[in-house]
Chains A and B, each alone.
Chain A
């Protein structure tokens, strides 16, 4: 209209900014919304098996009462990041699950020869996460790889946690051990964050070991 000032900015701008703000708020907050797990949610149970092996054809097993810590140092039997407090619980639960599936434990002094061995091992890894703001490259406090830099004041995120993995493997008999390698017909692994209370760890171990066998329905003795 002649002589009038177009209200362009007043009518258009708020609407545009609303659309922009909604989109930005929903997108730029994260590429992975909902990511992150609690300690209790960190547990992963994985099982693998030899699809050609007849698990029903075996019955007697030996299960050592010791959990082997994999430390990388043959002279160091105990990992500083792993506790022995749960060893008895772990061994007992694995034995109970096998017996519930018709397998029978024997010991080395028994006249009955075992059909397979069950070996249990554990390892732990310390994980460090450090992130600093800066461009380009990746920044540590004070300096950046690739000649980068960061806006002052320095900002960043850092945290550390320890994860542990419990391995259980079934090795049918000594004929499957060649040199330092053994043919494994079934293996189960439990991985999770170790930074937890003793009570919670007990419960998580129990649930995870039971899950290991629950997702292995082929483990059943037919003898």
Chain B
């Protein structure tokens, strides 16, 4: 049984066999729509998962860490009532969805001591794969687009005995790309509040 749990842990944390000075984090992500995105979905997304892998430069002596970040955020909102169009109207039970998959290269700068509250600031740059889906009655419309995107981030590690609790905040910006369901390109912006566990590979 303990060998099975060990394999599960390795799969969960995706520990690297190369770098020794690294942080691997798995988080539960909460996402809050902002700006024009709220015209389509305004409800907070309570479904989200994130993975971060960070490798400190200079063998761990540098406060600067480069890495990758992957996540999956699910926005959904039910609506009823009438949508007024320029030349008509549409009424029916609506389900609106956004599935956002950020795939980012990251850079973070750490402040202070890693044995106490360990603060950091940084961000990511990369791409967001966004699936926008609109259902009304039994009819569905869907558009999928790759967006160039960025996010600034601040966070903190709260050290435990073997791992850290990690808490961070991000402002996700997926720049306009492709065609949205309503026609024309669409930019998606949302806040992220992420909480989870970070393992330090020292």
Interface residues of A (CB under 8 A from B): 6-9, 11-13, 15-17, 19-20, 22-24, 26-27, 30-35, 37, 41-51, 127, 161, 163, 191-193, 211, 215-216
Interface of A is mostly: mixed
Interface residues of B (CB under 8 A from A): 2, 5-6, 8-9, 12-13, 26-29, 46-49, 72, 74, 76, 78, 82, 84-93, 95, 97, 99, 131, 133, 135-139, 160-163, 196-197, 199
Complex formed: what's the CA distance from A8 to B160 in Å?
Answer: 11
The answer on a CB contact under 8 Å between B87 and A15 is: no
A215 contacts which chain B residues (CB < 8 A)?
A: 82, 84, 89, 91
Complex formed: what's the CA distance from A163 to B137 in Å?
Answer: 10
A6 contacts which chain B residues (CB < 8 A)?
A: 162
A127 contacts which chain B residues (CB < 8 A)?
A: 138
Interface of B is mostly: strand
Nearest CB of B to A18, in Å: 9
The answer on a CB contact under 8 Å between B47 and A32 is: no
Q: Residue A44 contacts which of B13, B136, B160, B199 (CB distance < 8 angstroms)?
A: B136
Given known A15-B163, A32-B133, contact A45–B78 (CB-CB < 8 A): no
Given known A9-B5, A45-B92, A216-B89, contact A34–B78 (CB-CB < 8 A): yes
Known pairs A26-B28, A43-B137, A44-B91 / 7 extra A-B pairs, C-beta < 8 Å:
A23-B27, A32-B76, A32-B97, A33-B74, A34-B76, A42-B137, A48-B88
Nearest CB of B to A209, in Å: 12
The answer on a CB contact under 8 Å between A12 and B138 is: no
The answer on a CB contact under 8 Å between A19 and B27 is: yes
The answer on a CB contact under 8 Å between B9 and A16 is: yes
> Closest residue to B161 on the A side, CB-wise?
A11
The answer on a CB contact under 8 Å between A23 and B48 is: yes
For the complex of A and B, the 10 pairs showing the least CB-CB separation, nearest first, are A23-B49, A44-B92, A44-B137, A48-B88, A215-B89, A45-B91, A26-B47, A41-B93, A12-B162, A42-B137
Nearest CB of A to B99, in Å: 5
Q: List 12 A-B contacts (CB under 8 A).
A: A8-B162, A9-B2, A12-B9, A12-B162, A23-B29, A23-B49, A35-B97, A35-B135, A42-B93, A42-B137, A44-B139, A46-B90
A32 contacts which chain B residues (CB < 8 A)?
A: 76, 95, 97, 133, 135
